Amino acid sequence: MIRKSLNNSSDPILIIAGIDVRGSAANMLYYPNGIFIDNNFDLYVADHYNNRIQLFPIGQTDGIKVPIGVILDANKYLFVVDQNNLRIIGGSSAVLWRSMSFNMFGNTFAVDSQNDRRQKFALLTNSCT
């Protein structure tokens, strides 16, 4: 993966993840399949064939392994899709196999391909009081 500024054409292209070789080392990826960048510009990469999510903190080229799927909500709560254990960590106890997302109202939507269904989990306000 590379990084290139769209605001300054003189900024160099930087390799930020992977080394153009497949592998499972902290600086390697094998079929990266999705990315997410948080407010701190930390990069999360779905490293498909290594069955992992790699977190690359800004400025670092070695990743830190986190589980199979991850999303960050507007309040910086991290939700992890733990495919092998059939659960979402940090969210509901849904049976998940593929992915999840949030809408602008904070509701969670999940794809449960094992059971051929989509699920919606409504945001409960003041649920942690």
For the chain, the farthest-separated pair of C-alpha atoms sits apart, in whole angstroms, at: 51
How far lies 66's CA from each of 18, 48, 55, 122, in Å? Answer: 16, 13, 7, 26
Asked if the structure places residue 126 within a domain, the reply is: no
Cβ density class 101-111: b for 16+ within 10 Å, e for less: ebeeeeebebb
Residue 62, token pair as written in the block: 């070695």
pLDDT of residue 4: 78
Domain finish residue from 37, 66, 95: 66
Asked if the structure places residue 128 within a domain, the reply is: no
How far is CA 54 from its chain centroid? Answer: 8
**Do 19 and 44 lie in a common domain?**
yes
Domain finish residue from 66, 91, 106: 66
27 within 8 A of 15, measured Cβ to Cβ: no
**Do 42 and 78 lie in a common domain?**
no
**Do 40 and 77 lie in a common domain?**
no
Above 80 in pLDDT, residue 25? yes
Residue 113 is classified by DSSP as G
Average pLDDT over residues 45-64: 85
**CA–CA dist 57, 25 (Å, integer):** 16
pLDDT of residue 49: 87
**Do 74 and 60 lie in a common domain?**
no
**Do 35 and 83 lie in a common domain?**
no
Above 50 in pLDDT, residue 92? no
**Do 45 and 91 lie in a common domain?**
no
Q: pTM score, two decimals? A: 0.54
**Do 62 and 84 lie in a common domain?**
no
**Do 98 and 77 lie in a common domain?**
yes
Q: Is 98 in a helix, a strand, or coil?
A: coil
How many other C-beta atoms lie within 10 A of the C-beta of residue 35?
A: 12
Above 50 in pLDDT, residue 19? yes
Average pLDDT over residues 50-61: 85
**Do 61 and 99 lie in a common domain?**
no
Domain around 52: 2-66
Residue 3, token pair as written in the block: 């990084």
Number of domains in the chain: 2
